[in-house]
């Protein structure tokens, strides 16, 4: 009788999971950095005497650059690589946040929080998550996409209460420096663990066939005639085109070409207009001005920031549930319901503010959290249904409209507060616009095929 002395082979964790983990941390931090200005409005007013409109203008620039950088992020990553782009983006965020402690004039706030942080966070927008998934995963793509998308909401949950407490206690400079240090702390991990493609470390995407030998064909994502994952890796297909696109198509050129083509169709303007209103009612208004609005009614800033963080918790639940529903219910019907209910809730909000957290406010927070990013899955589904292989690129531009809407709301609500002494008109106007977005969503049809 022979006894085998061979030890069982120990399975190593695939490198794709390390890449996904680093991407999760980077996206999580990016979301937290973008949410930070909301806790700085009141402290900056108290120290420098700047108006709400002036401070909101910095947030507006940040949101516009975040949205306009996103469609071209794939081109940057294709040209310079994910690792370099993300590392530089984190350095921009660290510099923009860190330099604010030295500012003495409002234009410096516009430069730091507006331009530098806006460009940095825009380079790590949804396209970064999509690129990671397309290049590194064949199996578990849906799971990883959902987790990386949820990181955006989780960042708000992690950072806001801590930064609000720092701004209330040691001061807003400590909050800004915390953001800078957190961004810098991620850079070494990005440089060490993040790689542009599996072939860079001698492996294949998770779930892909083993790489064929030299001179042979195959379906590996690293081969010359590989499958969808390989095409995505070579072209940044997440936003630059679908499978089958020429390997050398420039992502920026394709993004602009698809924009001009889609802009000649009615559904594009309905989608972009509705998603712009989505940005008005989330990042631009609630995300930026909820904390100072609650503070106007006597609520401490850390408590208001905690409520905003709770929105981030329920946002994860709402986004996952909305994705599940989008496979079973008409996406435009879902959007109509989401926007309609959101509009009604915003019209009720002005009467819910108080110095303490009342049950009615908690109900609003839970509902708004469930509805916060629930509009994304049906919007993506509609872009795919109407524009086919160009749907991802079209969504990139629709997302840009979302950020432009958010920027307009950030400034508009600040000016409303300055001139009227309260935010009430801003809440009512946003609610009415959401009802308009509900009607626009229900009117979406099919693009005329050329």
Asked whether the predicted pLDDT for residue 430 surpasses 90, the reply is yes
| For the chain, percent of residues with pLDDT exceeding 70 | 82
Task: Give the model's confidence band at 161: pLDDT under 50 very low, under 70 low, under 90 confident, else very high.
Answer: confident
Q: What is the pLDDT of residue 429?
A: 96
Q: Render pLDDT for 374-387 as a digit per residue (tens, 0 to 9).
A: 888 888 888 878 98
Query: Which of 16-20, 61-65, 97-101, 444-448 is the least confident region?
Result: 444-448
Measure Cα distances from 425 to 245, 410, 413 in Å: 48, 13, 8
For residue 142, pLDDT over 70 is answered with no
pLDDT at 239 over 80: no
Calculate the alpha carbon distances from 299 to 288, 292, 441 in Å.
16, 9, 36
Nearest to 436 by CA among 405, 407, 411: 405
Q: Which residue did the predictor score with more confidence, 304 or 168?
A: 304
Pick the more confident residue, 227 or 11: 11
Most confident residue range from 75-84, 200-209, 272-281, 383-392: 272-281
pLDDT digits (tens, 9 = 90+) for 100-140: 888 888 898 889 888 888 888 888 776 687 778 778 887 77
Under the banding of pLDDT at 50, 70 and 90, the label for residue 35 is low
More confident position, 130 or 163 = 163
Q: How confident is the model at residue 238 (pLDDT cuts 50, 70, 90)?
A: very low
Buried b (16+ CB within 10 A) or exposed e, 235-260: bbbbbbbbeebeeebbbbebbeebbe
Q: Is the pLDDT of residue 404 over 50?
A: yes
- Per the CB < 8 A criterion, the answer to whether 132 and 20 are in contact is yes
Planar angle of CA 34, 371, 120, nearest 5 degrees: 15
In the prediction, which pLDDT does 249 show?
A: 54
Please write the tens of the pLDDT for every residue from 8-19: 445 677 888 888
CATH superfamily of the 15-199+235-442 domain? MFS general substrate transporter like domains (1.20.1250.20)
Structure tokens at 362: 């908690």
Domain extents in the chain: 15-199+235-442
Kindly report the average pLDDT of the chain as a whole number: 79
């Amino acid at each position: 009788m022979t006894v085998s002395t061979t030890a069982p082979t120990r399975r190593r964790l695939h490198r794709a999971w390390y890449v996904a983990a680093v991407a999760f941390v980077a996206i999580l931090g990016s979301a937290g950095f973008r949410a930070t200005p909301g806790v700085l409005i009141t402290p900056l007013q108290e120290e420098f005497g700047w108006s709400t409109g002036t401070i909101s203008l910095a947030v507006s620039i940040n949101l516009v650059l975040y949205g306009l950088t996103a469609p071209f992020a794939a081109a940057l990553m294709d040209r310079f690589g994910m690792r370099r782009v993300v590392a530089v983006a984190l350095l921009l965020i660290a510099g923009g946040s860190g330099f604010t402690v030295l500012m003495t004039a409002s234009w410096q706030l516009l430069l730091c929080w507006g331009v530098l942080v806006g460009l940095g966070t825009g380079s790590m927008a949804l396209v970064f998550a999509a690129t990671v998934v397309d290049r590194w995963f064949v199996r578990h793509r849906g799971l990883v996409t959902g987790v990386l998308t949820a990181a955006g909401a989780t960042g708000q949950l992690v950072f806001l209460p801590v930064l609000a407490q720092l701004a209330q206690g040691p001061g807003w400079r400590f909050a800004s420096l915390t953001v800078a240090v957190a961004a810098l702390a991620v850079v070494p991990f990005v440089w060490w663990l993040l790689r542009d493609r599996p072939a860079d470390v001698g492996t294949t995407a998770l779930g892909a066939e083993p790489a064929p030998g030299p001179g042979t064909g195959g379906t590996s994502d690293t081969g010359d005639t590989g499958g969808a994952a390989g095409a995505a890796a070579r072209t940044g297909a997440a936003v630059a085109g679908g499978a089958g696109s020429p390997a050398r198509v420039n992502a920026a050129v394709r993004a602009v070409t698809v924009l001009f083509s889609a802009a000649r169709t009615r559904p594009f303007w309905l989608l972009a207009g509705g998603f712009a209103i989505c940005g008005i009612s989330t990042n631009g208004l609630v995300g930026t001005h909820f904390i100072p609005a609650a503070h106007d009614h006597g609520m401490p800033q850390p408590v208001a920031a905690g409520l905003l963080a709770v929105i981030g918790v329920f946002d994860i639940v709402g986004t996952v549930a909305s994705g599940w529903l989008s496979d079973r219910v008409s996406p435009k019907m879902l959007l109509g319901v989401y926007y309609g209910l959101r509009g009604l809730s915003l019209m009720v909000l002005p009467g819910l503010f108080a110095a303490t957290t009342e049950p009615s406010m908690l109900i609003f927070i839970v509902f708004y959290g469930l509805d916060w990013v629930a509009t994304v899955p049906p919007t993506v589904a509609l872009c795919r249904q109407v524009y086919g292989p160009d749907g991802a690129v079209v969504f990139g531009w629709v997302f840009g409209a979302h950020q432009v809407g958010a920027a307009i709301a950030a400034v508009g609500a600040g000016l409303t507060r300055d001139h009227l002494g309260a935010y009430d008109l801003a809440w009512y106007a946003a609610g009415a616009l959401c009802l308009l977005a509900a009607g626009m969503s229900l009117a979406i049809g099919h693009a005329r095929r050329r």
